Structure 1
Amino acid sequence: MKLIKAIGVAAGLMLSVGAMAQQVATTTSSNPSARPIPESDILFKKTVWRKIDLREKQNKPMFSENREITKIIINAVKSGELTAYKNDSLNTPLTREEFIANMTSQETAGGLSEEEIAAGFGKEEAKEQEDAWGAALGETETQTSTAPVSNEYFPKQLYLLELKENVVFDKKRSRMYHDIQSISVKVPSTLNALGFEQNVGSFKMSDLVRVFRANPEMAIWYNAQNDAQHKNLADAFDLWLFSSYITKISNPGDRALADIYGGGKKGLLAAQEAAEALIEYEYSLWSY
């Protein structure tokens, strides 16, 4: 009888441990953070949004020729290696087609409408151009072909990223952490015909780290001073080797700093003051 009870207790413990392990694994895999901090260890947290302009001198190592971070992200989505989301809430995945549509210029000024193309306009002109090029190159009519024209933005054109992070004070380790949750690729307002920034796709930081680690030859932070010391992009984000500015801090109205304080110089000053306030908060924790 005692043996049966012991077996029953052991089985119950195994089931309990198994359920707990499954719960932890599921929670970890769904967490957008590359290094999640347990909620029980968090003494303070604010969600902060930052913009990264890859054209800035400090950010050029992430935007080196043919190794642009945007190129790596785009190729990973197209190959199915990376999942894109509609926005930084990371709740709604985008299909590959939706992602490509988001990074495709919608400007059709000076071109034919869909109805005109369906009616056959422009076909004769295209055929004449094709024959002319074929004749100039000494090709036969069967050898000539017209490559499809793509309106997708080039990776170099998508120089704007938005980073969403949790600024967390870990009471167990007694320090502040920048826990990056997501990175979004933006179409700059200068490229959008409607004049505002458009989200191409948002990505979990944990997914990006996996892609960066899997592509060490491409996903590099270029060290202009020493070719032997290039770093992986995952390490570059860990070490905060980039320049950014704050655009929003979590607030009841979910308003950006530019909406509260105004754009231009006022917005930049507000961003600087917000960054200093976060640093000051960490220092004040050690004041007696």
Structure 2
Amino acid sequence: MMNRPFFIILLILISRAYGQQENLSNSVTPIADGPPIDGYYLKSDMENRKVIPYSDIRSVDVMYSKRVWREIDLRERLNASFASPKSRLIDVLMRAIQAGELTAYDPTPTVEDPNGDSFKVPLNPDELMANLADSVFVPEFDKEGNQVGGTFQSGEFNADSVVKFRIKEDWIFDKQRSVFEPRIIGIAPLISIKAADIYLEPQPAFWIYFPEARHILVNKEVVNRNNDATGLSYDDVFVKRIFSSYVIKQSNPEDLRIKDYKQGIDRLYESERIKQDLMDYEHDLWSY
């Protein structure tokens, strides 16, 4: 005979499931248990997800390590989700910075930090927004309508101006776990700077420390052009490597970027060579 407390609990669960299903049905009667569900199924609870931590790595277990810088071009088809108006990555980062949930770091190169990506100097959110905002010239007129001057005032930051992101990551072989894997260290949006009516090469606007950003990205859903039921967060996209990118630099004694010694299409070939070298290293580990 069924235990009475267990039977009561079972009835409660069934009633809740039935009430939820009724809310999601094609009922033509008014819904009495709160606002209706926007759809015919409950989506994953993205807002309450928690970060899955990486496995710990001891320095004595690092058999091989190589630092790589790469760029994600949002104009590529596979990366279109990063620029979706519904959930743009730059909007996610900027809102978190303004809310004090993330720290932005100054990307300016120094003698101690030639690449400007060592997370040394935090940026004040107000100063950061002022630097990113487009300057607008506001003319001044006299009583007769003649322009007598004008001033530059800070406008609003144009998120559409960010078409690339730069990533700094380490490829590490952990002999304790026998795993060769990449781990992202930092992310930087790239913006074009205009000088003398000429747009210069895009430069980092700021750097974000990725381990800190994961707690924000894990609760932000990525919008897919072809499928609304992905259930993927930005943390999933970066950790699972669901993006297209090309290498612009690997660690080397001269601290050279690819563009410093390769030109034209040879830069792309060099980028692919570096990628292949990393894959070959992993393959050679298990060759007999």
Assess same fold via TM > 0.5. yes
Residue of structure 2 in register with 1:270 after alignment: 270
The answer to whether 1:70 aligns with 2:90 is yes
- CA positional deviation for 1:193: 4.7
Residue of structure 2 in register with 1:161 after alignment: 165
1:185–1:179 CA distance, 2 compared to 1 (3 A): same
Hey, which of these two has a bigger chunk of strand by percent? 2
Structure 2 distance, partners of 1:189, 1:98, is 17
Other structure's SS at 1:228 match: coil
- CA positional deviation for 1:150: 4.7
User: Which string of whole-angstrom CA distances, capped at 9 and with x for unpartnered residues, describes residues 120-160 of structure 1?
Assistant: x60558x99xxxxxxxxxxxxxxxxxxx9753432222121
Aligned letter for 1:268? L
Hey, which of these two has a bigger chunk of helix by percent? 1
Structure 2 distance, partners of 1:226, 1:185, is 26
Aligned letter for 2:66? K
The answer to whether 1:79 aligns with 2:99 is yes
Aligned-residue RMSD, C-alpha = 2.6
Structure 2 distance, partners of 1:193, 1:93, is 29
Aligned positions of 1:235-254 closer than 5 A: 235-254=236-255
Aligned letter for 2:279? I
- Report the TM-score when normalising by structure 1: 0.69
Residue of structure 2 in register with 1:11 after alignment: none
Residue of structure 1 in register with 2:81 after alignment: 61
Structure 2 distance, partners of 1:172, 1:100, is 44
User: Which string of whole-angstrom CA distances, capped at 9 and with x for unpartnered residues, describes residues 28-81 of structure 1?
Assistant: xxxxxx635322221100000000111211011222123100011111111211
Aligned positions of 1:1-12 closer than 5 A: none
- CA positional deviation for 1:280: 0.7
Other structure's SS at 2:201 match: coil
Residue of structure 1 in register with 2:133 after alignment: 104
Question: Is the CA contact 2:133–2:158 (under 8 Å) kept in the aligned structure 1?
Answer: no
1:170–1:78 CA distance, 2 compared to 1 (3 A): same
State how many pairs are aligned: 219
Question: Is the CA contact 1:102–1:199 (under 8 Å) kept in the aligned structure 2?
Answer: no
Higher relative contact order (CA 8 A, sep 6+): 1
Structure 1 distance, partners of 2:177, 2:142, is 71
Structure 2 distance, partners of 1:265, 1:187, is 23
For structure 2, which runs of at least 5 residues remain unmatched after alignment?
1-52, 108-116, 147-151
Residue of structure 2 in register with 1:285 after alignment: 285
Structure 1 distance, partners of 2:198, 2:190, is 14
For structure 1, which runs of at least 5 residues remain unmatched after alignment?
1-33, 113-120, 129-147
User: Which string of whole-angstrom CA distances, capped at 9 and with x for unpartnered residues, describes residues 205-242 of structure 1?
Assistant: 112111123xx3xx222233432223110111111010
Question: Is the CA contact 1:159–1:188 (under 8 Å) kept in the aligned structure 2?
Answer: no
Identical columns (%): 29
Structure 1 distance, partners of 2:125, 2:198, is 23
- Report the TM-score when normalising by structure 2: 0.69
